[in-house]
Amino acid sequence: MSDRKQLLMIDDDPDFVDGIKSILTAAQYDVDVAHNPKDGFAALQKKKYDLLLLDIMMGRGAEGVMIARKMSRDPKLREIPVLIMTGIREQIAFLFGSQALHPHFVEVDELMEKPVEPRLLLERIEALLKAASVKASEKK
Amino acid sequence: MEKPSRILIIDDEEIVLDSCLAVLEGRNYEIATAPDGTEGLKTAQKFAPDLVLVDLMMPGISGFEVLEGLRGIDPTIVTIVVTGYSTVESAVEAMKRGAFDFLPKPFTPDELRLIVQRGLERRRLVLETITLRREKEMLQQNFAAIISHELRSPLSAVQQNLFVLMAELDTQLSESQKGRFERLKVRIADLLKMIQSWLRAVSAPEGKIGGDFAPVSVQAVIARAVESVQTHATRKDITITDSAPGSLPAVLGDETILTEALVNLIGNAVKYTHAGGKVAVSAAVEAGQVVVSVADTGIGISAEDVPSVFDAFYRGKVGPDAEAGCGLGLALTRRIIEAHHGTISVESEIGKGTTFTVRLPVSAAESISPPGEAPAAPSTLDPGDPR
């Protein structure tokens, strides 16, 4: 097996996913995709990923937030850096009064607004992976 | 098969109960009976009927009281009063009190079937209306979420792929092709922005802004707003001057939202001013209020349009070279200013220019948190304009 980084993307928009996957594959990442939160969480439990790219609004609401919450409660999954990619701007999060969906309500490592500039995305991913490996080596 | 309709018959005459049962039998009905009003109400509690036939003249509590009680249990229950000929007036009275219809005794089986059918139809409509209303309320509540997601997602996906394709095809594209890609990106970005501002206009009523107001520096807001419009102005050869004094008292508010309001005003001024024109932003304190005005040398607003400029989706007549807007900027601006307990007004003369004036109450708390990177002194972007 190569030492290519394993990325998982959970997003319900196949066209958006195709675009992102194309960037990431070209940048030598291995990318798995789940189109709904359920498959996404199952994938997280089955395979060890280096980073998760997560959409917020899926299915019946802010289901991406649920995934991030579930991950933060799991001692293993907690270590995986999460990059949220969402169409919801932080500024308008206050509009969703009844739903606790402000990105700050869950701990995520990075939030980017869709659409994302390819170069910027690659930079952020690289930075997150680097930070995670530093953290991992500190633990040892 | 559909869920059976539940019918409750309240009548003290056993023969009436029996004949009703016989007539209604064999249809998709579930039927309960009660010999008097008190029993009837008790049964209604458990049975949850869709329709109740009530005899008006019964020993014990009256039919009217039964109607009242049923309304208390569930106001959507359809009630039909059964009455003798001599009491038609009271039947009318019962209808005034909310009964759906009345059935005079003696009635034929067909009359009973028909009135029950109509009553159940009514019940179906009532329930449907309630469901629709509830859905509409839900929709209104989650309007922002739905619009945001449903409109922005497809556009984001398109934009994302444009980004990626441009990066992937970089070396193969001609300059002209790259230019067209750039235009596509700008057009979609504009559309995304427009949806965003529209979304804010429809879903940011006064009540939602104001949760975390803090003292805000007006100079900082003006400086940030001017900065964000500057590129557009430079491109159009329009000079923006900011002559806000450095010593303004703070106002209570949300810095980001207030900046957005100012961006709208200054952006509008630039939009409706010819190349070479001027936009002057100034600020002063008057009678416990910070007064910010944005004056342009633009095309002006006609007197008939002035009263409507703050209405959503209103667009005045624009000159040939003026850019079109979505008709929401000023409506949103007014909402923002009003949410800050301020006022906004406009003065204009066709061909001479327009001045928008915003008045915001001075914050009671005089202390102000440092306004970030905003300049402490007034930033004069064009020292040539004395305005």
Window from A59-73, B223-237, B309-323 with minimum mean pLDDT: B309-323
**What pLDDT score does A46 carry?**
95
Containing A8, the helix (H) or strand (E) segment is strand A6-10
Is residue B233 domain-resident? yes
Q: Are B300 and B351 in contact (CB under 8 A)?
A: yes
**A39-53 pLDDT tens trace:** 999 999 999 999 999
Taking residues B308-332, what's their average pLDDT?
Answer: 62
Q: Where a domain ends, among B140, B167, B189? A: B140
Please report, as a single letter, which amino acid is at residue A129: L
**What pLDDT score does B8 carry?**
95
Of the candidates A83, A118, A122, the residue with the CA atom closest to the CA atom of residue B161? A118
CATH number of the domain to which B83 belongs: 3.40.50.2300
Taking residues B294-316, what's their average pLDDT?
Answer: 79
Please give the mean pLDDT across all residues of chain A: 81
Q: Establish, for the pair of chains A and B, how many residue pairs have beta carbons separated by less than 8 Å.
A: 78
Answer yes or no: do B222 and B277 share one domain.
Answer: yes
Q: Chain A residue closest to B168 (CA)?
A: A23
Answer yes or no: do B355 and B264 share one domain.
Answer: yes
pTM score above 0.95: no
Of the candidates B294, B303, B292, the residue with the CA atom closest to the CA atom of residue B270? B294
Q: How distant is the Cα of A111 from the closest Cα of chain B, in angstroms? A: 15
Other Cβ atoms less than 10 A from the Cβ of B84: the count is 14
**Banded model confidence at residue B162, pLDDT cuts 50, 70, 90:** very high
Taking residues B147-161, what's their average pLDDT?
Answer: 83
Is residue B386 domain-resident? no
Which of A:27-56 have CB within 8 Å of B?
A: none
The three-point CA angle B129-B135-B138 to 5° equals 145
Answer yes or no: do B219 and B321 share one domain.
Answer: yes
Please report, as a single letter, which amino acid is at residue B71: R
Task: For residues B332 and B346, give the distance between their C-alpha atoms in angstroms, rounded to a whole number.
Answer: 15
**What pLDDT score does B384 carry?**
39
Model confidence at B113: pLDDT above 80: yes
Taking residues B109-137, what's their average pLDDT?
Answer: 88
**B171-185 pLDDT tens trace:** 999 998 988 898 888
Is residue B247 domain-resident? yes
Answer yes or no: do B194 and B240 share one domain.
Answer: no
CATH fold of the domain at A6-139:
Rossmann fold (3.40.50)
Is residue B374 domain-resident? no
- Note the ipTM here: 0.71
**A69-127 pLDDT tens trace:** 788 888 889 889 988 888 765 433 333 333 334 444 455 677 788 889 899 999 999 99
Answer yes or no: do B271 and B317 share one domain.
Answer: yes
Instruction: List CB contacts of B148: < 8 A, sequence separation 6 or more.
Output: A57, A87, A88, A92, A95, B195, B199
**What pLDDT score does B85 carry?**
61
Taking residues B104-129, what's their average pLDDT?
Answer: 91
Contacts of A87 in chain B (CB under 8 A): 148-149, 152-153, 156
Higher pLDDT pick, B111 / A102: B111
Taking residues B165-172, what's their average pLDDT?
Answer: 90
Inspect the interface and report whether the beta carbons of A87 and B149 lie closer than 8 Å.
Answer: yes
Q: Which of B152, B168, B208 sits opposite A87 (nearest CB)?
A: B152
Q: Where a domain ends, among B123, B140, B157? A: B140
Answer yes or no: do B159 and B270 share one domain.
Answer: no
Is residue B209 domain-resident? no
Is residue B366 domain-resident? no
**What pLDDT score does A114 carry?**
85
**What pLDDT score does B382 carry?**
39
- Inform me whether the C-beta atom of residue A120 falls under 8 Å from chain B C-beta atoms: no
Higher pLDDT pick, B186 / B354: B354
Task: For residues A56 and A54, give the distance between their C-alpha atoms in angstroms, rounded to a whole number.
Answer: 7
Domain that holds residue B20: 5-140
Answer yes or no: do B129 and B82 share one domain.
Answer: yes
Of the candidates A72, A62, A64, the residue with the CA atom closest to the CA atom of residue A11? A64
**What pLDDT score does A120 carry?**
92
Please give the mean pLDDT across all residues of chain B: 82
Inspect the interface and report whether the beta carbons of B164 and A116 lie closer than 8 Å.
Answer: no
Answer yes or no: do B220 and B356 share one domain.
Answer: yes
**B196-234 pLDDT tens trace:** 766 666 655 545 555 567 888 999 999 988 988 888 888
Task: For residues A8 and B321, give the distance between their C-alpha atoms in angstroms, rounded to a whole number.
Answer: 49
Q: Where a domain ends, among B183, B203, B223? A: B203
What letter would DSSP give residue B362?
B
**What pLDDT score does B145 carry?**
60
Which of A:56-95 have CB within 8 Å of B?
A: 57, 61, 87-89, 91-92, 94-95
**Banded model confidence at residue B379, pLDDT cuts 50, 70, 90:** very low
Burial of B115-138, coded b for 16+ CB within 10 Å and e otherwise, reads bbeebbebbeebeeeeeeeeeeee
Answer yes or no: do B135 and B27 share one domain.
Answer: yes
Percent of chain B with pLDDT strictly greater than 90: 33
Answer yes or no: do B117 and B34 share one domain.
Answer: yes
Model confidence at B59: pLDDT above 60: yes
Task: For residues B265 and A39, give the distance between their C-alpha atoms in angstroms, rounded to a whole number.
Answer: 47
**B236-276 pLDDT tens trace:** 899 999 988 888 899 988 887 788 889 889 988 998 898 89
**What pLDDT score does B53 carry?**
94
Please state whether B325 falls in left (phi above 0), alpha (psi between -120 and 50) or beta.
beta
- Inform me whether the C-beta atom of residue B206 falls under 8 Å from chain A C-beta atoms: no
Total domain count, chain B: 3
Taking residues B40-46, what's their average pLDDT?
Answer: 94
Phi, psi angle pair for B355, to nearest 5°: -125, 120
**Banded model confidence at residue B351, pLDDT cuts 50, 70, 90:** confident
Domain ranges of chain A: 6-139
Q: Which two three-digit tokens encode residue A28?
A: 């030598």
Q: Are B290 and B283 in contact (CB under 8 A)?
A: yes
Is residue B387 domain-resident? no
Answer yes or no: do B340 and B328 share one domain.
Answer: yes
Of the candidates B69, B84, B32, B39, the residue with the CA atom closest to the CA atom of residue B53? B32
Answer yes or no: do B354 and B290 share one domain.
Answer: yes
CA A36 to chain CA centroid, nearest Å? 13
- Inform me whether the C-beta atom of residue B139 falls under 8 Å from chain A C-beta atoms: no
Of the candidates B194, B187, B102, B91, the residue with the CA atom closest to the CA atom of residue B148? B194
Is residue B46 domain-resident? yes
